[in-house]
Amino acid sequence: MKINFDQKILTLEGKSIPILLGDGRKSGKDMTLLSATQEVFTQGTKDDRDMLPDEKLKRFELILRITHEVELDLDSDEISLIKKLIGNFYVSPVIVGQTLKMLEGKPTGIVPTKEEQKETEVMERNKKDFGNK
């Protein structure tokens, strides 16, 4: 299934969720399916301590593909792995619910604000015009 990892994760009011730095300051970037997935693969969980090195390498190669391609075809095992990791890592049902729906190719049910819609349109135009990710 083709997944677009550039999709924004929004508040229930349809606003962007800023990514926070370790000291609580805003990073200037908004949370996306990509940033949520990267966080999960980077931080890991206590269950990852017993993981065999080959499995860690497999996960590393997957996150590299996701990071460099942003929109790509994933098989059902890869999608299931990402869903499991996100579900175990994040506490917020708002974040988990949206990411799982995105990974299933379903609408999240959250309507972005007009400002968010405009910003998304500008980003999409820039991608087409300049080939930016």
Q: How many domains does the chain have?
A: 1
What is the reported pLDDT for 131? 62
Which tens digit of pLDDT belongs to each residue from 47-106? 788 889 999 999 999 999 999 997 899 999 999 999 999 999 999 999 999 999 999 999
Owning domain of residue 15: 2-130
**The dihedral sign for the CA sequence 78, 83, 84, 86:** positive
Confirm if 19 and 30 have CB atoms less than 8 A apart: yes
Which tens digit of pLDDT belongs to each residue from 112-131? 888 887 877 777 777 666 66
DSSP label at 9? P
